[in-house]
């Protein structure tokens, strides 16, 4: 370290902050975390409790930020809970905060902000299938001043090991150990194909089967051992998971799927 750098460093000291102080400092200078990041709201009431900080990035993506002043592995689950609530209300929030030009088509981002993160939390994050970002911080205070400044570090999340094995449709059906449920699932997939053999496609994806109409998702089949879910929009246009245990359960689902397919046309 050069002497002039050392002289500059001597002018600052590291200080601790409370969670409220941390929140206030982030509200005042969100771009210290990321360029052009903009503060939207704090302590936003959700079904999971008050959300620490809500922001929007330079691309119009809403950012859910969970803050801690100590290393705390529970923040990952808390952050996902808030993320889930915000995701279910993204269109409403985009209208409520219209001046921030939030783009509801963009993926919401989850920021976890803390002084440090355990190795366990960092490893768990690589398996989370949402845009999650870790930022550690230190707070510095110039000597002889009450001003406090947050310095952030973007913590790298290791990549998921590459899996070469392709997803196979038959594997998704075979996950159902109940032979009757497996038969119902296969027959109903074939029925869906028959609705429009040109435009309906069926593909195996991670842990589910995707049914698309002209490239847009119509529904998902999510198998469990004894039954399966069909996920699609209900009559209120809300994404819903319908459990299917027998043929009768399909009777109430067919109208939603046919209506949704007509809308996609």
The residue among 118, 129, 115, 126 whose CA lies nearest residue 84 is 129
Give 134: exposed, middle or buried? Use CB within 10 Å, 0-12, 13-18, 19+: buried
Q: Are residues 173 and 127 in the same domain?
A: no
Domain that holds residue 36: 8-155
Instruction: Give the tens place of pLDDT for each residue, 163-218.
Output: 677 899 999 999 999 999 999 999 999 999 999 999 999 999 989 999 999 999 99
Is 161 a domain residue?
A: no
| Residues β-bridged to residue 243 | 229
Same domain, 13 and 125: yes
Query: Residue 6 above 70 pLDDT?
Result: no
31-66 residue pLDDT tens: 999 999 999 999 988 888 889 999 999 999 999 999
Instruction: State the CB neighbour count (10 A cutoff) for residue 119.
Output: 7
- How many domains are contained in the chain? 2
Within a domain: residue 235?
yes
List Cβ neighbours of 231 (8 Å cut-off, separation of 6 or more): 219, 220, 222, 239, 240, 241, 242
């Amino acid at each position: 370290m050069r002497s002039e750098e050392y002289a500059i460093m001597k002018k600052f000291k590291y200080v601790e902050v409370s969670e409220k102080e941390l929140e206030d400092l982030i509200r005042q200078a969100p771009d210290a975390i990321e360029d052009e990041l903009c503060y939207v709201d704090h302590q936003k009431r959700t079904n999971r409790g008050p959300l620490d900080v809500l922001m929007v990035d330079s691309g119009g993506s809403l950012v859910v930020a969970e803050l801690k002043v100590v290393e705390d592995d529970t923040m990952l689950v808390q952050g996902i809970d808030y993320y889930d609530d915000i995701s279910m209300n993204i269109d409403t929030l985009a209208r409520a905060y219209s001046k921030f030009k939030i783009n509801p088509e963009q993926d919401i981002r989850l920021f976890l902000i803390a002084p440090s993160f355990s190795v366990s939390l960092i490893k768990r994050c690589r398996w989370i299938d949402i845009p999650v970002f870790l930022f550690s911080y230190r707070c510095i205070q110039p000597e002889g001043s009450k001003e406090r400044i947050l310095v952030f570090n973007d913590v790298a999340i290791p990549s998921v090991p590459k899996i070469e094995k392709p997803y196979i449709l038959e594997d998704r059906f075979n996950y159902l150990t109940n032979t009757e449920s497996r038969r119902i699932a296969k027959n109903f997939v074939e029925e869906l194909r028959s609705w429009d053999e040109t435009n309906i496609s069926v593909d195996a994806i991670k842990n589910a089967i995707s049914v698309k109409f002209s490239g847009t998702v119509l529904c998902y089949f999510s198998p469990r051992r004894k039954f399966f879910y069909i996920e699609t929009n209900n009559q209120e246009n809300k994404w819903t998971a319908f459990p299917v245990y027998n043929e009768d359960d399909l009777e109430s689902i067919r109208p939603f799927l046919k209506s949704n397919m007509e809308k996609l046309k």
